Amino acid sequence: MNAHQERALPSSTSAIGNKTATSALWKRIKQHRWHYLFILPMLVLFLMFSIWPMVGSWYYAFFDWDGTGRPTNFIGFANFIEIYTDPGFWNAFKITFSFAISNVCIQLPLALIVAVILNHPAVKGRNIYRLLIFLPVISTTAVVGIVFVILLNPLGGPINDVLLKTGLIDSPINFLGSQKLALPTLLVISLWKSFGTPLIYWLAGLQTIPAELYEAAKIDGAGAVQRFTRITIPLLVPIGIIIVLLTFIGNLHPFDLVKTMTEGGPVKSTDVIDTYIYRYAFETTEYSSTRYGFASAAGIVFSMAVFLIVLVQAGVMKKVRPDKGGQSA
């Protein structure tokens, strides 16, 4: 065998290997063709309503387009530059993140405490309590918003009537019409509405902790607080990071609650990124038409900010692992 044949042999072997792998792949696809057929509708819908909107947003963001017809007025990065210099966008950006961070900081510790209580075998009827707490989660947020608009109405609303009759206030409170009270009011309603979700997460995490650890700690003389700080919290750290991320991302999109209750008002004091984008994409005024391209650019800027947060969380996850949590316990 000459040198040329020796050099050709590896490439021939590689080609044969690739052909064999391709043949095996097609054989496997043919073998499971019914499985692929059943998931095909889901894949088509995923491409239509998830992948294409994301790709389309990147395309439309470079046009001055009102959402009708085909975009033709290419303006490059002008939309992104305008977003960067728009105080309204950064106001909505700040409110969105402050709303989400406040939810996480208030909701997660409270949900953990309630989860620890409901996870204790001595609590009777704990499954009923879990159900009652989780019921608001499965209710429609838009309906919840409309109901609370009626309840909080300063003109004859049940909540103001009760406060007036009990003498707690001298005049009706306009919870949703005050710049100082509107956002805290939405935050409280959001906390109540979604409280069951982190509660279920924490309960799932607590049930992975062996009961023997608590029994051994109790025999050694550890009190309830010590068992909580030395066993429960360290072992919940890995799953807690995931819960923080899921809760934070979930609270970045309070569109349905804000839209039905305040529509971003009063004076943009509850304007979040979702309502900001919606206003430019779908609402017209006597002074301007819809700006779908600008709204797409705003959505991209916001999604990139969230993506950076996910990257940071991924870095934290690499440092905090289940085995480390167990060792710290």
What does the pLDDT read at residue 16?
Answer: 60
42 half-sphere exposure, CB direction, 13 A CA radius: 5
Mapping DSSP to helix (H, G, I), strand (E, B) and coil, where does residue 290 land?
coil
What distance in Å separates the CA atoms of residue 232 and residue 193, rounded to the nearest whole number?
A: 26
Taking Cα atoms as reference points, which of 103, 108, 101, 133 lies closest to residue 236? Answer: 108
Question: Model confidence over 51-109: pLDDT tens digits?
Answer: 998 899 999 999 999 888 889 899 999 999 999 999 999 999 999 999 999 999 999 99
Compare 26 and 79 and report the one with higher pLDDT.
79
Task: Estimate to the nearest angstrom the gap between the alpha carbon of 34 and the chain centroid.
Answer: 34
Helix (H) or strand (E) holding 32: none
Tell me what percent of the chain is helix, strand and coil, each rounded to the nearest 5: 75, 0, 25
- Terminal Cα-to-Cα distance of the chain (whole angstroms): 66
Q: What is the pLDDT of residue 329?
A: 36
Digit-coded pLDDT (tens) for 128-148: 999 999 999 999 999 999 999
Q: Give the lowest-confidence range in 17-26, 74-83, 239-248, 275-284.
A: 17-26
Three-state DSSP at 11 gives: helix
Taking only Cα atoms into account, the Rg of the chain, rounded to an integer number of angstroms, comes to 27
Q: Which of 15-19, 143-147, 215-219, 296-300 has the lowest mean pLDDT?
A: 15-19
Q: Residue 176's closest CA among 201, 159, 195, 200?
A: 159
The predicted model scores a pTM of: 0.83
CB neighbours of 321 closer than 8 A, spacing ≥ 6?
Answer: 238
**How many whole angstroms separate alpha carbon 175 and alpha carbon 145?**
13
Q: How confident is the model at residue 320 (pLDDT cuts 50, 70, 90)?
A: low
